[in-house]
Chain A
Amino acid sequence: MKSAKFDHQRMVTLEEAVAALGSADGEARIMGGGQSLGPMMNLRLAQPDLLIDLSRVGGLDGIEVAGDTIRIGARVTHARIEDGAVPGVTGAYMQFVASGISYRSVRNRGTIGGSVAHADPSADWPSALLALGGDVVIAGQDGERRMPLDGFQIGPFATGLGFEEILTGFELPTLGEGAKCGYYKVNRKPGEFADAIGAVVIGSAPRVVCGATEAAPFRVVAAEERLAAGAAEISVADARDMIAAQDPGFDDYDLQIHAVALSRAVGRAFA
């Protein structure tokens, strides 16, 4: 399949990109690494009139530590994260997550901001970052604003981004040496999209995420409470109950693999 016709504008500044979004005739889409949007356009599932290309926009690929926050630009690739560009315990966790995304040539181009903005529920970053917590940094007509990762994704392929806004980066917590992280993905083959994700980060307080669902990834409150109370493991049976209590919509198989992912993510955090 070849994509339908579209206009392509390569932007130099963020302001220019935001302005282009606002003034576009018809549907405009932001392209980061193009690893999801590209195939969707070729399959003609997406037929934007205008593609706003951020690959030349400066200032979107930085990784900076400022106190207890790590600021990561939207255009940072999975490959850079896999190669250890993000420092500390946060970086080690993200490195593990990045290494399981698709295969290397996709990781070379695919970006963390593109993944979160695209909001495919089966993708890794929406779940992995929700477990970390922190903010999404957004540029719009009125300048920059922040949204917590909690609540940013509101459904499959749906986020809190406005039509004329661009996701520019993340502000994530720098985890201390004592923090524990665990990530477990159930999928059919290495590199495939997830069928189930469990993500656990125990920093200042435990955050436990159930991901790769039909909708947005969500925090499993009962699991967080259990870990906050000092538990170092959660059985598959308990995880089933906890997940089902929050989302009764799973069929038996999906409930099982999501519970396994959660249970094993906890196991990895304490390994």
Chain B
Amino acid sequence: MADGGATDGKGIGARVLRKEDWRHLAGKAKFTGDFQRPGQKEMAFVRSDVAHARIVSVTKPAGFEDSVFTAADMPGMRPMRAPSKLPGYKGADYPALAIGKVRFVGEPVAVCVADTRAEAEDLAQATVVEYEELPAVVDMLDAKAPDAPRLHEDWDDNLVMETFADDDFSKIADRATVIVKREYRMARHAMNPMEGRAVFAEWDDRTDQLMMWTSTQVPHLIRTGLAEFLGLDQRQVRVIAPDVGGGFGCKALLQPEEVIAGWLTRHLEAPVRWIEDRREHLVTGANCREHHYFVTIHATPEGRILGLDCDVTIDAGAYSVYPFTNGLEGAMAHGNLPGPYDLEVYRCRTQTMTTNKPPLMPYRGVARPGVCYAMEMTIDALAREIGMESHLIRAMNMVKQEQLPFMSIAKKHFDSGNYPKSVEMVVDMIGLDKIRAEQAAAKDDSRLIGVGMGSYVEQTAHGTSVFASWGVAMVPGYEQATVRLTPDGGLELRIGVQSHGQGMETSMAQMAYEVLGIDPEKVMVTHGDTGLTPYSTGTYASRSMVMAGGATARACRVLAERMEIIAAHLLQCERAEVSVRGGKIVSGKGEVSFAEIGRVWYLNPDELPDDVDQGGVEVTMGYRPEPDSGAFTYASHACKVAVDIDTGKVKILDYAIVEDCGTIVNPMIVEGQTYGGATQGIGTALLEESTYDSFGNPGASTFADYMMPGATDAPHYRIDHMESPSPFTEYGIKGMGEGGTIPTPAAIGNAINDALKGIGAEVTETPFTPRRVLAAIAAATQNRQGDAA
């Protein structure tokens, strides 16, 4: 049947105000930190202050031996294990509390419990850990040395995983006469959701359940992991994510603190709580983005890119994380380096190294900000080399609309869109010609103007086949949604994904409206509770709107059919004469409200027809796109910067975005997500860096040392949308939650290098700090003077 809901602009495509915003604006949201119970205990951690050491002894404060726990005091708590089926993958178990050794600064060694957090911290401060220090592996390239210290004694080296794909470059050799090679680094940083991690646990004897409220994106996976590593049945674990203040990936994995809280509450017979503070986050959450690249582009003098040769190193930190492992970034880097480009040959090696740093986690964009930066910066280097505008090179080499669907050289199945068009549009928006004229007329040689761009294509909502190919233990399948008509004609919608800022309580209700015409205000969206929602691998990989949204549409359609049967009976007409329209069931003989259907099913079943569906007005449906290789969102970003060559400071003067995430459900949410992502990208590009000294000590443990982008760093974004529906998904929706982060470092880096091109300087290491910009200028100046001599 055709969807008959939307009649007055609250469905797909409508700028509906977010239903959840009122409680946030009124300060009435409820986060994990808001939970209080009589008799609750607070947790504080003794964390390693050395990067690599054997633990010789842990001395607890006298008189408080029963309030301080090491791994040895917690029988039954198992190290977190995240297996991978990828060939050669070596994943190190992640013990919730260190066992025998510590492998990064911040690793939990002991947990202290007390009535208040301050007292728990007093215990942590008074606990003495004696270490036998070992040489630390701090840099991922140093980790490869044959004589490098080993993090894991049972390994032959520090290599977590290697992927390699080769091709015959000889077939392009005579045409690809221009070879551009570059080296790049992207710095490690922290995700910094506004709400840090947080967990509140209590054991409910009535239900024989561990109840855990935790700030997570993936409550069902946390439940499965807790059961596994605490030795519980899954029925004994209920996980609830209440309001969650951002996640960005670090909350898509099981955390040591969650496992520890689960063990403690059961054994202490008291509720326990842990609220991560910002220092803990900046030290233990320095877990993303750290990549190193060698990129070589083989092109014709006209700018046709024929071959791409990459050598990628990924710093995976000390342990593998549950459930997605630390092999994800290598696989993602491999599959995404060629971007939207149509290449003839591709060679790529990725090496994922273990180091004495916090375990790598997938941060919004997962590897793609790094690969996009490496590829797009090299394209601009090629443009400078052959004296051509880089947007022309992009448009020339991108997969064309008429080629879609298209299997990329890295085996990505592009679905729909017009990639070169996004380039053309964004070049127009940023006003390239005007900026070129401004540069030519510029008189001030201490403030240089530059323009740069970055394009990407992003696999979103990729499903079973893709995750299975990455070898992870948790593979998403059919995403489910449950809809239930209430006796008064309202709708309960239950989804297993979790909304932590994406506005799903609104966008999912819009989806129900699209099918049923029920006002979004009358739709109660329940998410983030394993006791109330269908099992789901959760919110990550820009999947929720496609997957849970698709499941919602399907469930609503089945509900509509069941309501139509009842309505036809009540109206005494044929089934074919009735249809759901505008929140009612209508026919030529009159109409029936949803409330009437609810009343009859629940309270007056004597009025039901004989052929009523006995499943009633509650429906659970599963959904998976076919093929499930992903819906490919793409975008081009362009920005204009000014580089102060005396201080090395970069100022963003203008920023333009053209994006295509297929059918847009709520443009306001899409724009908000894009701006937020791009602002995080500015952090990656210009500000954020978790520094380490040669012993592996973190150098940025407060916001005095760690720069976050804020309101004063975000430009006034200008955005334009294209809408190329995916042929493979419900309504043609594509995922888009992550994309804003992806091309930003590339666009900004390219703009800086455009500004510096007269000097011959290039930045190649994020963040592009004033110090790095000045160093690049100094190096170029020195080179020139060397050449002149």
A-B contact pairs, 17 of them (CB 8 A): A1-B121, A1-B279, A4-B118, A4-B122, A4-B125, A5-B122, A44-B121, A186-B770, A188-B770, A189-B707, A189-B710, A189-B712, A192-B707, A256-B646, A257-B647, A257-B770, A260-B647
Contact status B707-A260, CB under 8 Å: no
Report the bound CA distance from A220 to B118 in whole Å: 46
Interface size class of B (residues with CB under 8 A): 20 to 34
* In the assembled complex, B687 has its CB within 8 A of some CB on chain A: yes
**Using an 8 Å CB-CB cutoff, how does the interface string of B755-789 with A read, 1 for contact, 0 for none?**
00000000000000111001100100000000000
Chain A positions within 8 Å of B770 at CB level: 186, 188, 195, 253, 257
**Using an 8 Å CB-CB cutoff, how does the interface string of B267-281 with A read, 1 for contact, 0 for none?**
000000000010100
Chain A positions within 8 Å of B118 at CB level: 2-5
Known interface pairs A253-B771, A257-B647; A43-B702 also in contact (CB < 8 Å): yes
Main secondary structure of the interface of A (DSSP, over half): loop
Report the bound CA distance from A253 to B125 in whole Å: 38
Chain B positions within 8 Å of A189 at CB level: 687, 707, 710, 712-713
Chain B positions within 8 Å of A190 at CB level: 712
Contact status A260-B712, CB under 8 Å: no
Contact status A44-B710, CB under 8 Å: no
Closest residue to A195 on the B side, CB-wise? B770
Report the bound CA distance from A191 to B775 in whole Å: 25
Known interface pairs A5-B118, A189-B710, A256-B774; A44-B646 also in contact (CB < 8 Å): no
* In the assembled complex, B704 has its CB within 8 A of some CB on chain A: yes
A95 to chain B, nearest CB (A): 19
Chain B positions within 8 Å of A186 at CB level: 647, 649, 770
Contact status B122-A253, CB under 8 Å: no
B787 to chain A, nearest CB (A): 21
Q: Using CB atoms and an 8 Å cutoff, list the residues of chain B in contact with chain A.
A: 116-118, 121-122, 125, 277, 279, 646-649, 687, 702, 704, 707, 710, 712-713, 769-771, 774-775, 778
Closest residue to A236 on the B side, CB-wise? B646
Chain B positions within 8 Å of A218 at CB level: none
Interface residues of A in 221-271 (CB under 8 A from B): 236, 252-253, 256-257, 260
Known interface pairs A1-B121, A3-B118, A253-B771; A43-B712 also in contact (CB < 8 Å): no
Report the bound CA distance from A39 to B122 in whole Å: 17
* In the assembled complex, A193 has its CB within 8 A of some CB on chain B: yes
Going nearest first, the 8 A-B pairs with the smallest beta carbon separation are: A2-B118, A190-B712, A260-B646, A253-B771, A2-B117, A188-B707, A260-B647, A1-B277
Report the bound CA distance from A186 to B769 in whole Å: 13
Interface residues of A in 1-31 (CB under 8 A from B): 1-5
Interface residues of A in 72-120 (CB under 8 A from B): none
B583 to chain A, nearest CB (A): 46
A139 to chain B, nearest CB (A): 31
Report the bound CA distance from A43 to B649 in whole Å: 30
Report the bound CA distance from A7 to B374 in whole Å: 55
Q: Using CB atoms and an 8 Å cutoff, list the residues of chain A in contact with chain B.
A: 1-5, 39, 43-44, 186, 188-193, 195, 236, 252-253, 256-257, 260
Chain B positions within 8 Å of A256 at CB level: 646-647, 774
Chain A positions within 8 Å of B712 at CB level: 189-191
Report the bound CA distance from A253 to B648 in whole Å: 9
B282 to chain A, nearest CB (A): 12
Chain B positions within 8 Å of A192 at CB level: 707
Report the bound CA distance from A192 to B649 in whole Å: 14
Chain A positions within 8 Å of B122 at CB level: 4-5
Contact status B774-A193, CB under 8 Å: no
Chain B positions within 8 Å of A2 at CB level: 116-118, 121
Report the bound CA distance from A1 to B196 in whole Å: 13
Report the bound CA distance from A192 to B687 in whole Å: 12
Closest residue to A251 on the B side, CB-wise? B771
Closest residue to B775 on the A side, CB-wise? A253
Report the bound CA distance from A190 to B702 in whole Å: 17
Chain B positions within 8 Å of A188 at CB level: 687, 707, 769-770
A47 to chain B, nearest CB (A): 9
Contact status B279-A43, CB under 8 Å: yes
Closest residue to A44 on the B side, CB-wise? B125
Closest residue to A120 on the B side, CB-wise? B704
Report the bound CA distance from A2 to B279 in whole Å: 11
Chain A positions within 8 Å of B771 at CB level: 253
A147 to chain B, nearest CB (A): 29
Report the bound CA distance from A1 to B702 in whole Å: 11
Report the bound CA distance from A195 to B279 in whole Å: 22
B152 to chain A, nearest CB (A): 31
A198 to chain B, nearest CB (A): 12
